[in-house]
Structure 1
Amino acid sequence: MAGTTAIEWTDATWNPVTGCTKISAGCDNCYAERFSERFRGTPGHPFERGFDLMLRPERLEQPLAWKSPKMIFVNSMSDLFHKQVPFSFVDRVFDTMEKADWHTFQILTKRSSRMRDYVNRRHADDAAPSHIWLGTSVEDGSRKSRIRHMQQMNASIRFLSVEPLIGPMGRMDLGRIDWVIVGGESGPRARPMHPDWVREVRDQCNEAGVAFFFKQWGGVRPKSGGRTLDGKEWSQLPCVSPTRGEFRSPRSRAGDR
C-alpha cells in the first residue's frame, strides 16, 4: 500500500492485484501499464513481470495495519474484476475491507457487469457496507451501459470515473449515482479533452444533486493543465447519507459544498 498518493480524490492506494489487459478505448494509453513496463525484467522489482496480471496475497491484510482512517483506492494498478481474478480471491479482498471498516475503500472497474453480479451475490439481502464505494470508468458516451450496471448493483455508494474523458458523454441517467469524477488524459500520447464535454457532465451532476469532482485537465504531465473549471475547483465527495444532494469535502483538502 502506498502511504501517500498524488491522486486528488483519495488518500492511499492498495494493490492486492497488479497488471491488467485492455478492454476499451479508455485503456489505450494506460498510465499503470506505462509505469509497470518500465521495470519489466528488473530482478526483484515488484513489476519484474511488467503489467502481467498477478495476484498479491501477501498484501491482502495491509489495510488492517493502518490505524488512522483513510480513503483507499483499491487496485490503482489493476482491475479487481478482471476475468482472470478468481472470485475466491475477490472474496478475500472484500473480507479485509469489511473488517477494516474505519477506512473508506474506493473500487473502480471497467468490468462493471462482473462487479454487479459479484456484489449482488455477496450482498443479496442488504446493500454493500457504506464504507465500500463501488465505481466504474466511463470514457465517453459509447460506454453508458456501465452506468446501468452500477444502478443495478446492491451498493450503498456508487460512483463514476469519467476519466480519461475522450469524447462527449451526452445525456446521462444519474439515478442512484452518488459521485462523478471527471479528468483528462495524461502522458506522452494524451488525447485532448474539450471543456464543453466537462461542463456537460458537471451541469448534469448539479441538476441531479450528484457530487462532482474535477480531477485534472491532463496533458503530457498530469498536473500541467491544473484542475480549475470555469475559475473554480470542484472537489465534492458524497456524504454517506440517505439524503441526496448533500456533499462533503475531501479530508485535508480545500473543496466546495
Structure 2
Amino acid sequence: MSDRTGIEWTEATWNPTTGCDRTSVGCDNCYALTLAKRLKAMGNPRYQRDGDPSLSGPGFGLTLHHDLLDRPRRWRRPRLIFVNSMSDLFHPDVPLDFIQKVFAVMADTPQHTYQVLTKRSKRLAAVAGDLEWPSNVWMGVTVETPRYAFRIDHLRSVGAAVRFISAEPLLEALPNLDLTDIHWLIAGGESGPGARQIEEEWAMDLRDQCADAEVAFFFKQWGGRTPKARGRELKGLTYDEMPGVAVGISTVR
C-alpha cells in the first residue's frame, strides 16, 4: 500500500485485504501473486500467509488487515485511490461486515476518489444492496475475454456513481460489448514472463466502441516482458481519458 503508485490510471493504492486465488484466465500470470512471493521472501508481515498452492501460492493467502482500514483518513491531499491492488474486496472469504467497514471509510473521506475492481461480479451484485454507495466510489469489473462479459451485467445492477471495465489483461477481442450505463473502459496487455500478446485490432475496436457509446477510454499499456516494454501509444496517440469527475489526472489524450 502506498500513497504513490506507477499504475497509470490511479494515484495511490490501499490494501485493507491482501491475497487472492485464481478465478479466471486473467489470473494465470497475476502480477500481485508474483509480487507477494517476493514480499514474503523479504519478510514483509503482510504476506506471510500462504494460499492454496493450486490456486494462489506463497504469501498470497487471503488476509484481512483491520489496522489498515483508517489509512486513507491520514491522507489530507485528495487522491485517486485504487482499492485492493493486491486482492479482491469481493472475494468470497471477505466477510460482508468487513466490506461494509471499507465502504464506511470511503464514505467518511469524500476528499478522495476510490476505484474498486473485482472479478467476483456475482458476489458484488449479491451484496450491493447491503452497501452504501457514496459518490466518490467507482466500481469496476475485469473482462479479459468474451466469456466474462456477463460481469458487465452484474456491474450495471450496482448503484455506483461511476462504473468501469478493466479489459486488462486483454486476451481476446471483445466485440459488440453492451456499454449501456458504463462510464469508463481501461484496456491493456499483459506483462511479465510468459505474457500473452495483445493484438492491435482488439484495442482499436475497444477504442471505437467507446467513442460510439461516449465512454471514456484509457489505453494503459501494450505489455510484454515488463509493463513499459512496448509503451502505451495506440496508433501514435496516448489515450488517457477519464470519467468527468476524476480527481487529479489529466483527461487530455
Establish whether TM, by shorter chain, passes 0.5.
yes
Equivalent residue number for residue 151 of structure 2: 146
Query: Paired residue for 1:227, among 225, 232, 240?
Result: 232
- Per the normalisation by structure 1, the TM-score is 0.91
Equivalent residue number for residue 32 of structure 2: 32
Q: Distance in 2 between matches of 1:223 and 1:45?
A: 29
Does residue 114 of structure 2 align to residue 117 of structure 1? no
Query: Paired residue for 1:203, among 184, 202, 208?
Result: 208
- Superposed counterparts of 1:158-197, under 5 Å: 158-197=163-202
Q: Distance in 1 between matches of 2:217 and 2:151?
A: 18
Spell out, residue by residue over 1:103-139, the C-alpha distance to the aligned partner (whole angstroms, 9 max, x if none): 000000000121122222324xxxx222100000000
Q: Distance in 2 between matches of 1:43 and 1:31?
A: 19
Change (3 A) 1:167 1:45: same
Does residue 86 of structure 2 align to residue 81 of structure 1? no
Spell out, residue by residue over 1:51-79, the C-alpha distance to the aligned partner (whole angstroms, 9 max, x if none): 11100000000000000100000000000
- Is residue 103–residue 131 contact of structure 2 (8 Å, CA) maintained in 1? no
Q: Distance in 1 between matches of 2:213 and 2:62?
A: 38
Equivalent residue number for residue 6 of structure 2: 6
Change (3 A) 1:4 1:43: closer
Q: Distance in 2 between matches of 1:118 and 1:146?
A: 15
Equivalent residue number for residue 243 of structure 1: none
Q: Distance in 2 between matches of 1:156 and 1:39?
A: 35
Unpaired runs of at least 5, structure 1: 241-247
Q: Distance in 1 between matches of 2:106 and 2:24?
A: 28
Q: Distance in 1 between matches of 2:147 and 2:109?
A: 36
Q: Distance in 2 between matches of 1:251 and 1:65?
A: 18
Does residue 81 of structure 2 align to residue 72 of structure 1? yes
Q: CA RMSD in A?
A: 1.4
The secondary structure found in structure 2 opposite 1:212 is strand
Unpaired runs of at least 5, structure 2: 50-58
Change (3 A) 1:223 1:107: same
Change (3 A) 1:210 1:33: same
Residue 254 of structure 1 deviates from its aligned partner by 7.1
Does residue 111 of structure 2 align to residue 102 of structure 1? yes
Q: Distance in 2 between matches of 1:228 and 1:152?
A: 33
Equivalent residue number for residue 55 of structure 2: none
Residue 39 of structure 1 deviates from its aligned partner by 3.5
